[in-house]
């Protein structure tokens, strides 16, 4: 079957007629078929939010995906504001990710490790070593050897009892180790805070996604039930006609 020729009698350079455009009912702009969505397939609560701004929106209208994403963000933001009274920056990020279908989960370990300086890496290593059994065993062996040597060498001992030099070394180690451990603990707290924020974003998005999924399923079930009811009505009419 020959291709149809446009009314103006001109055929495009590629030899094929251009695909028809669909007008977005919100912006009035033309889009390709893949760039628009039928309003009948959108969840009812989102349609109600759009109709607040466009009360004349028809049931068979089409909306561009860009505008639909914008209204999804707006809908989720207003939903969170109604529930909590205010919307934080994290909740805004969740609303935007829902509209754009972006992934929120992050690897906190990689993100945190990438920002550490050389001093922070050294302090974390020292704090980790200072809180290990290896450090305790090595340090206990060092103290035992020191005290035994200076106890049995008598006059040749370089640090006789009461081990004043050893006490000085221990005091110095304690004075240096304490701030190193505190710095490491502070960074661990920061890492835990980032991890908890990431968990909150992911859990909030999952909760909203599940809520929207339930609404979509209910919408599809109701729509399918209407179609089944119409088909059943037609079948009953045909049976009634045959009986006559």
Structural contact between residues 183 and 126, judged by C-beta atoms closer than 8 angstroms: no
Q: Give all strands (DSSP E) within the chain, no chain letters.
A: 22-23, 30-31, 36-38, 62-64
Please tell me whether residue 43 adopts helix, strand or coil conformation: coil
For the stretch 43-63, pLDDT in tens is 778 888 888 888 888 888 888
Pairing mode, strands 36-38 and 62-64: antiparallel
Phi and psi torsions of 57, nearest 5° = -65, 125
d(C-alpha 217, C-alpha 60), whole Å: 20
* Residue that wins the pLDDT comparison between 188 and 144: 144
Question: Residue 186: its pLDDT value, please?
Answer: 85
State what percent of residues in the chain have pLDDT above 90. 6
Q: pLDDT at residue 221 above 80?
A: no
For the stretch 85-134, pLDDT in tens is 666 666 666 767 766 666 666 676 777 777 778 877 888 888 888 888 99
The pair of three-digit structure tokens given for residue 131, joined into one six-digit string: 């809180």
Lowest mean pLDDT among 68-77, 108-117, 140-149: 108-117
**Top-ranked range on mean pLDDT: pick from 63-72, 74-83, 153-162, 209-218:** 63-72
Q: Where are the domains of the chain?
A: 22-102+200-243, 108-196
Q: pLDDT at residue 204 above 90?
A: no
Question: Residue 235: its pLDDT value, please?
Answer: 66
Average pLDDT, the chain: 76
DSSP for 85-121, please give it.
Answer: SS--HHHHHHHHHHHHT------HHHHHHHT--HHHH
Section 173-186 average pLDDT: 86
For the stretch 6-41, pLDDT in tens is 444 444 455 455 567 888 888 888 888 888 888 877
């Amino acid at each position: 079957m020959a291709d149809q020729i446009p009314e103006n009698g001109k055929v495009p350079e590629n030899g094929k007629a251009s695909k028809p455009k669909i007008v977005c009912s919100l912006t009035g702009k033309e889009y390709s078929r893949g760039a628009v969505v039928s309003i009948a397939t959108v969840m009812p609560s989102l349609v109600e939010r759009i109709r607040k701004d466009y009360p004349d929106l028809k049931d068979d209208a089409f909306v561009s995906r860009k505008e639909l994403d914008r209204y999804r963000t707006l809908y989720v933001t207003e939903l969170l504001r109604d529930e909590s009274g205010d919307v934080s920056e994290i909740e805004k990020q969740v609303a935007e990710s829902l509209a754009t279908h972006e992934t929120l989960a992050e690897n906190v370990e990689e993100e945190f490790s990438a920002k550490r300086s050389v001093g922070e890496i050294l302090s974390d290593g020292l704090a980790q070593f200072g809180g290990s059994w290896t450090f305790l065993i090595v340090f206990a062996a060092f103290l035992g050897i020191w005290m035994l040597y200076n106890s049995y060498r008598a006059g040749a001992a370089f640090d006789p009892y009461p081990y004043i030099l050893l006490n000085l070394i221990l005091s110095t180690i304690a004075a240096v180790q304490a701030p190193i451990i505190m710095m490491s603990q502070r960074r661990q707290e920061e890492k835990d805070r980032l991890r908890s924020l990431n968990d909150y974003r992911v859990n909030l998005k999952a909760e909203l996604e599940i809520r929207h999924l339930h609404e979509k399923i209910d919408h599809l079930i109701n729509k399918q039930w209407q179609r089944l009811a119409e088909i059943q009505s037609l079948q009953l009419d045909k049976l009634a006609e045959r009986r006559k």
